Amino acid sequence: MFVQTVTSKMKYRPALSRHLTLTALILASGFSGASAPASAQTLTFAQCVDTALRQNFDLVASREQVEQAQAGLGQAQGKRMPQLTASVNAVGTNDALTAFGLRLSQRNANFNDFGAGQFNPGSPGALTVAPTNLNYPGFVKNYNTRVEMQIPVYSGGMISGGIKQAQAYIQAAQNGDQAARQQVIFQVLRAYQGVYATRAYLSVTRQSETAAASQVDMMQKLVNKGVIVKSDLLSAEVHLQDVRVQRTQAENAVANALDQLHLLLGLPLTVPLDIGPPVAVAAVPSGSGDLKQLAVANNPGINALRHQLEANQAGVEIAKALYHPQVGFMLRQDWNDPQMGFGANSYTIGGTVSWVAFDGGVTKAGVDRARAAQNETAAKLAQSEANIAFQVADAKRKAGEAEQRLAVRQLALTQAEEAESLVSKRYANGVATITEQLAAEAQLDKARADIVTAQYDLIIQRAALKLALGQLGLDSL
């Protein structure tokens, strides 16, 4: 509830809740009667924006998303390169087949490993004798040192699709970061400039409290003289308490606004803070062309969705790659030795061609899923383009309304200044009461507060238009 006006009859009209809702997120600066602590650090709007862009938690997360996307591109591009691995494997076994194979790999196999000493050609059953050395070779150890290179030759478009997807994700993340930066600038502007409206209303409530207290004192004297009934005095006292509640609400709004700016700047709430001069935002030039088309083409949030759509399209290519053969080439060098070392060496050259003939519909389901994600993003993009066109039109209309409202408030301020001057002269001549004098001053204070509000609305709507156009920045205000 806010004291809308004060007349000589002390009639008030509630409206503070509307203004407090409007300014619940704004910071307060030095309007009369609401000065910041002497120890508070004063930051200009440019300094606030610079601090927010460096320390705002949302922007820190946004920058990390860009880093993730860039790292993803490095991963995707790395899949085109040969993969080189080195390994050392130790094994010991008395399995007949494995042990004999290990001896061969070590190039240590001999005829005695076949049981040659047990073979007697003159014996009738020589061919049926089971050679002991071959069937019971004992425990054989082997250390295999291997260097292997896998070279991708053809992946059916999976690698190239992954690179396209990673590049699109980088573009989407960069545009998303730009959109987040502009949104932070807008939030800081709303908080920073709104201070004047908040503290202006706080000043009005304090002035109204003074006027209401003066009215109570005057009516107490009239009651004592028997001029008015006590119920009138009680009504005035109730009204005074209402005004004090309104003043408390306004003070709380200022405190909440300070806390909100701390959060925007990424500063602890305990750090004393105040702001500098107000900000002026220039209107978008009338000859800027079709603003809706400009917004749809240049808004970074829209462009982020466009690149997200490109990433989804690449995802379809990746899913379809499994319909094609996978071709690879392999080079391998092995050393096998009963001790750790580089004993018998051998090399292997090979190539593979694999093609999934049947997978139970897994590949098809993957393609369908990727297409569904693409269609979902396309729908979001179309909706966002329509929304941004509406935001441009709405901000442009509201900016025009704010310009007209500011002109009216300036006329009202002129009238209030003349009225206050007239009442001051009457009071100096003993014609008007102190209550009338305070009421005129409160009316003038409210007219000044209305000017601040109108200027705030104009600035915010102009900034909202530039935000929708993707043009909001310190150099474009």
Taking the CA atoms of residue 380, residue 385, residue 386 and residue 390 in that order, the dihedral angle to the nearest 10 degrees is 130
In a domain, 121, yes or no: no
Q: pLDDT category, 35, cuts 50, 70, 90? A: very low
Which pLDDT belongs to residue 302? 92
Which pLDDT belongs to residue 288? 58
**Domain harbouring 265, CATH code:** 1.20.1600.10
More confident site: 324 or 233: 324
Q: What are phi and psi of 332, to 5 degrees?
A: -145, 140
Q: What percentage of residues in the chain have a pLDDT greater than 70?
A: 90
More confident site: 33 or 370: 370
Which pLDDT belongs to residue 287? 61
The token pair at 19 is 């203004």
In a domain, 467, yes or no: yes
Q: Taking residues 340-353, what's their average pLDDT?
A: 91
Which pLDDT belongs to residue 192? 84
CA distance 26 to 338: 77
Highest mean pLDDT among 20-34, 303-317, 442-456: 303-317
More confident site: 124 or 71: 71
Which pLDDT belongs to residue 90? 95
* Predicted TM-score (pTM) above 0.75: no
The angle that helices 45-55 and 57-78 make with each other, rounded to 10 degrees, is 40
Please give the residue range of the domain that contains residue 427. 16-78+159-320+362-476
Closest of 206, 468, 169, 144 to residue 337, by C-alpha: 144
More confident site: 210 or 477: 210
The token pair at 309 is 């759509």
In a domain, 102, yes or no: no
Q: Taking residues 35-44, what's their average pLDDT?
A: 68
Instruction: Identify the bridge partners of residue 93 per DSSP, sorted by sequence position.
Output: 140
Closest of 29, 23, 25, 26 to residue 278, by C-alpha: 29
In a domain, 458, yes or no: yes
CA distance 451 to 447: 6
Statement: residue 323 has pLDDT above 80: yes
pLDDT digits (tens, 9 = 90+) for 143-174: 999 999 999 999 888 889 999 999 999 989 88
Instruction: Give how many domains the chain has, as a whole number.
Output: 1
- 29-33, 137-141, 245-249: range with lowest mean pLDDT: 29-33
In a domain, 151, yes or no: no
Angle at 381 between CA 379 and CA 387, to 5 degrees: 105
Q: pLDDT category, 453, cuts 50, 70, 90? A: confident
Which pLDDT belongs to residue 25? 33
**Residue 399 host element (H or E):** helix 362-428
The token pair at 149 is 């290179």
177, 66 in Cβ contact below 8 A? yes
How much is the CA Rg of the chain, to the nearest whole Å?
41
pLDDT digits (tens, 9 = 90+) for 169-178: 998 988 988 8
Statement: residue 280 has pLDDT above 50: yes
